[in-house]
Structure 1
Amino acid sequence: MNIVVIGGGSTYTPELINGLITRSATLHVRTVWLVDPDEERLHIVGSFVQRMVRHAGAGFQVELTTERRRALEGADYVITQFRVGGQQARHNDELLGRRHHLVGQETTGVGGFAKALRTIPIVLDVARDMRANAPQAILLNFTNPAGIVTEAVARHGGVPVIGLCNNAINAQRGIARMCDVPPEQVFIEQVGLNHLNWIRRVTINGEDATNAVIAAYVERLRHDDDPLRFPPRLIHILRAIPSSYLRYFYLTPQIIARQNSGEPTRAEVVMEVERRLLARYADPTLREMPPELMERGGAYYSTAAAALIESLYTDDNAIHVVNTRNNGAIPNLADDVVVEMPCAVGKCGATPIPVAPLEPAFHGLTCQVKAYELLTVQAAVEGNEEAAMLALLANPLGPDAAHVEAVWEDIKRTNRGLLPTFER
């Protein structure tokens, strides 16, 4: 098979390549194309992963290019993992939130909104090129905000798309460690949207272990002195384990207080990690992933991505938690919206596994955030400023009506040159 990675200069790329190396005997990879407009980063990262592949004797080629259409010819799978504007844009998103006393984060709140507006036009350009140059290919989106970007492609891209996030595999492995069992024995029913979901049911080796896992999770919370931990009583009330990103919704004042305490933005932390990683990647003697990569975040991305490709390729119908259209699997959500939930994955794509309706406490927040996501997609596709402000108002972490216009104007100023649909 031929795989194209859009954003191949990412510091995540070596982890992805490592996952493909691990499964190379099954996947029969012929070529991996790394595409990136930043030639310097592409050369550093690309040269390192070429050494990784040779050292492992994996038998496939890694090609580097800045020309997306050239790489897409004959592609079977296209992975998007890019960041429009780089970490500086992420830093600006976080500061934007701080300026307006709102959550500043790359996938939720006003920061996630700005990132979506920057990203959606580019990912739809990728989809257009896929239709022209690789009509048989499937798009696997890892670019954040993954749920909104996948929603945009599902509605406007005209190509098969599956959204991927590493949170589910991290949760599965965390539960496995907590229960001292192999990860492959753990199944989680994680339902909702990307970065807005709950684990409602856990089975271990086929046996229901939900109550035991929730009890163990609550016990860990009782011994956690992090002021941003979920209150143990909340878990009892929810009867589910919330995604860590739900802290932004359940503990909003505490999150904003920490942001405004003067601590560095996450972007500043990542910039320093990436500086050190790129220096390591540039070492011509380095042939295996350095331990510093774990500081970057995205743990088990390679495992999740390579396993997903394996299921698509081998038609094994294994279960993966991914982002795809609901198609009735969650009965009290619309069929055509993108959700994040367990799916059986084979050559025909991802088929959601039907579950019980969302409980009112989950359903209300999910519907509100999905309304925000749909308005965001509309705004990004049409360059519609009214839809943009409505999206901000619909977002539970967005500004109120008295401040929405000022926040929107600030977003446009801060992202000048990065919002093509609003600058025609």
Structure 2
Amino acid sequence: MTRDALKIVTIGGGSSYTPELIEGYIKRKDELPIKEIWLVDIEEGKEKLAIVGEMAKRMVKAAGLPWTVHLTLNRREALKDADYVSTQFRVGLLNARIKDERIPLSHGVLGQETNGAGGMFKAFRTIPVILDIIKDMEELCPDAWLVNFTNPAGMVTEAAIKHGGWKKTAGLCNVPIGHRKQAAEKLNLPEDELFFKFAGINHFHWHRVWDKTGKERTAELIDLIYGPQSETESHLKNIHNVPFHYEQIKDLGMLPCGYHRYYYIEDEMLEHSIEEFKKGETRAQVVKATEARLFELYKDPNLDYKPKELEERGGTHYSDAACELIASIQNDKRTDMVVSTANNGTITDLPYDCIVEVSGPVTSHGPEPYNWGAFPPAARGIIQMMKGMEETVIRAAIDGDYGTALHAFTVNPLVPGGVMAKTLLDELLVAHKEHLPQFAEKINEIEATQPETVAYVSHLMESN
């Protein structure tokens, strides 16, 4: 990138995370020659866009910067001649996430934003939208970079690169950032004196750590974080802090992602989620209440900075990472980051052309991942299954094929097979009918032949 008057677009601009995004740009004002920031949303998000958009304007003004902040519901207008496009949207808004969580949990099955049945349905709703955005980009901003942190980030990024053909795409997640900070704190060393290698897929990666003397500190960190004397709290606000089994992590010889709890200690995590469901306090319901409080804060005409309360939202650091990635591409900074990008042989256990979440410097031509190689058998087996599940989900999201979707549900280790897999699939299809046009024919068939399914979903949502 060489332009000295950047146009940056954020799709999902009415998000509660937008103040962090604006703060990140302001922090990098000397690295990013921004001229225009466009915040885009849809009709249903119009009110939130207006609130957070005005706050964004106040932040820019308070920083004394000559940037113009535009608010629009016209995506094509915003994308015209854009240099960078970031995506942080949620199809169906938080009410859709509530369905993703409550419907499975009503059957005693995990309901979660990016894992299990809920995560697959978020992909079904989101992937067609990202492909539509790419069609607009091909026409209106063919040289732009796409920075995705819309969940499930790995599958959405894979759809963009492999199926949308948008090679200039990078996916981001805040989870590795938290793990880096945790390691630095436990070792009592500055983060920039440690070297990290992450490898896996989004919300399903492992990492190793070295210090500047060349000594690997991974085993020490396993003891400090997961050992018998450890009292470490999870740094992830959206995941219940059930302790990992120390012997299992010691055997792996790698530090797990916080989301591995759903797989390594599934029973305890499920039990906690069911308790939350019974109290009407699923994570989506809590986030909806938190977000409502945030937007009340954002309405304050004197608020011109990111409030501390935003950190309670659970996704802190996402937006700042997006700003750093853009700055690194723009200036060939080669910042060491963890991104979802093309495997290209980085992880030998996974397909060459799939999307993985790995460490590496971000250059002017994009991420250049460090070689990882192979996983130990225990990790290799489960990640190959998870990647196969992701590829099947993506195919179902694009084709709208019921058989493919059912196969994805059957492969996913957090969804019971047989009758339960089909029951959940049918109920979630009906619940999300408005946002799943690719499945319209099958949904109409379910509604015509399974009135009990329609009644159950309707009753469950009314009792929310």
* TM class, shorter-length: over 0.9
> Secondary structure of the equivalent of 2:419?
coil
Deviates further, 345-354 or 276-285: 345-354
Superposed displacement of residue 169, structure 1: 1.0
1:130 aligns with 2:130: no
- Corresponding residue for residue 106 of structure 2: 99
Correspondence for 1:4? 9
- Picking from 229, 238, 242, the partner of 2:252 is 238
Deviation above 4 Å: which 4+ runs of structure 1? 224-227
- 1:214, CA displacement in angstroms? 2.2
TM-score (norm 1): 0.96
Show the counterpart of 2:173: 165
Match in the other structure for 1:404: 421
Deviations 1:243-262 (CA, angstroms, capped at 9, x unpaired): 11011111111112112222
- TM-score when normalising by structure 2: 0.88
Q: Which runs of 5+ in 2 are unaligned?
A: 1-5, 234-239, 442-464
Pick from 153, 176, 191 the counterpart of residue 160 of structure 2: 153
- What is the alpha-carbon distance in structure 1 between the residues aligned to residue 249 and residue 396 of structure 2? 36
Instruction: Confirm or deny that 1:109 pairs with 2:105.
Output: no
Bigger mean CA offset, 142-151 vs 261-270: 261-270
DSSP 3-state at the match of 2:348: coil
Instruction: Tell whether the 8 Å contact from 1:277 to 1:293 is kept in structure 2 after alignment.
Output: yes
CA distance in 1, matches of 2:334, 2:163: 27
| Matching residue within 23, 32, 43 for 1:27 | 32
Distance 1:221 1:228, change over 3 A: farther
Residue 260 (str. 1) matches residue 274 (str. 2): yes
| Partner of residue 40, structure 1 | 47
The Cα offsets for residues 131-171 of structure 1, whole Å up to 9 and x where unpaired, read as 11000001111000001111111111122211100111111
Residue type at the aligned position of 1:64: L
Amino acid at match of 1:349: G
The whole-number CA distance in structure 1 between the counterparts of 2:355 and 2:210 is 25
Given candidates 196, 201, 214, the residue that maps to 1:193 is 201
Q: Does 1:213 align with 2:221?
A: yes
Are the counterparts in 2 of residues 185 and 206 from structure 1 also a CA contact under 8 Å?
Answer: no
Corresponding residue number in structure 2 for 1:321: 338
How many angstroms does 1:227 deviate by?
6.9
Aligned residue identity for 1:6 = I
The one-letter code matched in structure 2 to 1:75 is: A
- Do the aligned residues in 2 keep the contact of 1:221 with 1:232 (CA within 8 Å)? no
Q: Is the 8 A contact 2:226 2:244 kept in 1?
A: no
Q: CA deviation at 1:218?
A: 2.6
Q: Distance in 2 between matches of 1:295 and 1:90?
A: 18
Q: In the TM superposition, what whole-angstrom CA distance separates every residue of 1:259-290 from its partner, at most 9, and x where no partner exists?
A: 22224110111111111100110110111111
The alpha-carbon deviation at position 315 of structure 1 amounts to 1.1
User: Tell me, what secondary structure is at the counterpart of 2:25?
Assistant: helix
How large is the Cα RMSD of the aligned pairs?
A: 1.5
1:283-294 aligned at under 5 Å gives the runs 283-294=300-311
| Secondary structure, aligned partner of 2:210 | strand
Q: Which amino acid is the alignment partner of residue 321 of structure 2? A: A
How far apart, in 2, do the equivalents of 1:58 and 1:368 lie?
49
| Residue 418 of structure 1: aligned partner | 435
Distance 1:389 1:3 in 2: 39
Which residue of the partner structure matches residue 86 of structure 1? 93
- Report the residue type matching 2:302 in the other structure: T
Indicate which of 174, 177, 185 corresponds to 1:177.
Answer: 185
Q: Distance in 2 between matches of 1:63 and 1:206?
A: 48
Q: Would you say the 8 A contact 2:199–2:206 is kept in 1? A: yes
Seq. identity, %: 40
Whole-Å separation in 2 of the counterparts to 1:231 and 1:320: 28
What is the alpha-carbon distance in structure 2 between the residues aligned to residue 368 and residue 211 of structure 1? Answer: 26
**Unpaired runs of at least 5, structure 1:** none
| Deviations, residues 42-68 of structure 1 (Å, cap 9, x unaligned) | 100000011011101233221110000
The answer to whether 1:279 aligns with 2:296 is: yes
Is the CA contact (8 Å cut-off) linking 2:153 and 2:171 kept in structure 1? Answer: yes
Shift of the 168–221 alpha-carbon distance from structure 1 to 2, 3 Å rule, reads: farther
Q: CA deviation at 1:206?
A: 5.2
Quick one: distance in 2 between partners of 1:327 and 1:400? 33
Asked whether the equivalents of residues 221 and 230 of structure 1 are also in contact (C-alpha less than 8 Å), the reply is no
